[in-house]
Structure 1
Amino acid sequence: MEQANQLISEIIQGACDNIPSATWDSFSITIKALNKMIEIGAFYEEGGNMLSFDPEENGNDITMKIKSLREQMYRLSPGNGAWYSTYFTVDNTGKFQTEFDYDNKPEFEYTPSNEKFIDDLKTFPRDEALIPQWLHDLAGS
């Protein structure tokens, strides 16, 4: 778990380093992931306004850290499968919250093919009872 916590810290710090303001109040990162597809949305709040930003603008590749985090967390509890979405919220004091969603179908901006979801299940197998119904339906089994 120590390696997963380190990756979370690196992802948050990498994103924070790209906020184009020194007076932000909080920021959030929304991540949707499959084995070969990662989508990141990042917003910061400043003076009551929510503004988007690129969490990788300075070249700090948090996408590979996200991929590593997903793999590491899977290894900690392999029968549960890998998470599909995660949300990080950080305030300007450094306090943060995380939420990992293992059950709901991720709503990507560009919908992945069914094969991408099936590939993800093959890469990160789950105990039969933990395969969500939407994934059963999608896989046709």
Structure 2
Amino acid sequence: MGPVEQNEVLQEMTLLLSHALPADWEEAVVAYRALGSYTEMYGQIQHKGKKLPSPYQPPAELTGLFARLREGMYRPGFGTWLTATLRLTFPATYNVRYDGDSEPSWVRRPPDGAGEEELQRFPRDPQHVPEWLGGRPADGSAIPVAKPYDDSEPDGTPIFQRPEVPAEDRDALLAYLEKAPIILMAHSLSEDMMDPERPSRVPMTYHTDGVWIWPGAVGYYLREHGLPPESELVAHIRGNGFELPDTPDHVLSATLKHLYSSFSNG
């Protein structure tokens, strides 16, 4: 379901809601929460001339429209949203917020097995499964940190013992490596170990896609010298179709924490 189809459903929802509201309404909020086949829907209304909102039972037909929207917005590997909050302001202005990571603020706890059912209906890659839903701990454990090269000669020249990157993958791989979010950056550049005569130009940065961490030197040596990254990292990026995933702020924080931990342990 693309943006146009989503807007069509939302307009149907707001039309249904506005026709069901009392004459003195000023603003209405409807929260829909789902996990597997378990759902909740609650609302409140701000009446004109009153200071506090009142509870409101939204039209039952909204449940099916929310469910249709949730299914249509599923993204393979990423899942779909778990909470949607629709706000309608008189006469016809609306906005909606989605949350696919945080545990919903349940009024009643979902039944046992709802989380497993959610992941069966809307599969997620491991890195996109929240910890409360059985995913990897938020401390960023088990995140591999790529090395720019395998070893070095006595004079410091890097040694690369890795498969070459196919020419047709090179540009897409470089774009992924260099455009991924930076979680750590120094205000200086380091020496090119393959060509020490060059001015220092190797970026002293660390990037992540939420699954791997790699230094900026990985992209640099591929771009400047055609030297490949670790084969496991290349396979991971190829498996993503060379498309960077959306990486939430809490994941970036976790990967940075893990990176600092790897420095202290190393």
Q: TM-score range, shorter-chain basis?
A: 0.7 to 0.9
The equivalent residue for 1:43 is 44
1:88-107 superposed matches below 5 A? 88-107=86-105
Secondary structure of 1:99's partner? strand
Distance 2:10 2:35 in 1: 18
- Deviating beyond 4 angstroms after TM superposition, the runs of 4 or more aligned structure 1 residues are none
Larger Rg: 2
Question: Any conservation in 2 of the 1:42–1:54 contact (CA below 8 Å)?
Answer: yes
The equivalent residue for 1:65 is 65
Report Cα offsets for 1:66-87 as digits up to 9, x if no partner. 111100011xx22210111011
Report Cα offsets for 1:23-52 as digits up to 9, x if no partner. 211111111012312111111101223112
Secondary structure of 2:134's partner? helix
1:100-139 superposed matches below 5 A? 100-136=98-134
Question: Any conservation in 2 of the 1:36–1:116 contact (CA below 8 Å)?
Answer: yes
Question: Any conservation in 2 of the 1:34–1:120 contact (CA below 8 Å)?
Answer: yes
Question: Any conservation in 1 of the 2:36–2:116 contact (CA below 8 Å)?
Answer: no
Distance 1:49 1:25 in 2: 11
Distance 1:79 1:4 in 2: 20
| AA of the residue aligned to 1:105 | E
- Aligned mate of 2:77, from 62, 68, 79: 79
Task: Give how far 1:18 is off.
Answer: 1.8
- Aligned mate of 1:10, from 12, 22, 26: 12
| AA of the residue aligned to 1:115 | G
Secondary structure of 1:25's partner? strand
Report Cα offsets for 1:91-115 as digits up to 9, x if no partner. 1031111110000111322201330
Mean alpha-carbon deviation: is it higher for 98-107 or for 5-14?
5-14
The equivalent residue for 1:52 is 55
Distance 1:98 1:39 in 2: 17
Mean alpha-carbon deviation: is it higher for 108-117 or for 119-128?
108-117
| Alignment coverage as a number of residue pairs | 131
Task: Give how far 1:8 is off.
Answer: 1.5
Distance 2:115 2:93 in 1: 33
- Give the structure, 1 or 2, with the largest relative contact order (CA under 8 Å, sep 6 or more): 1
Secondary structure of 1:6's partner? helix
What is the TM-score of this pair, normalised by structure 2?
Answer: 0.47
What is the TM-score of this pair, normalised by structure 1?
Answer: 0.84
| AA of the residue aligned to 1:8 | L
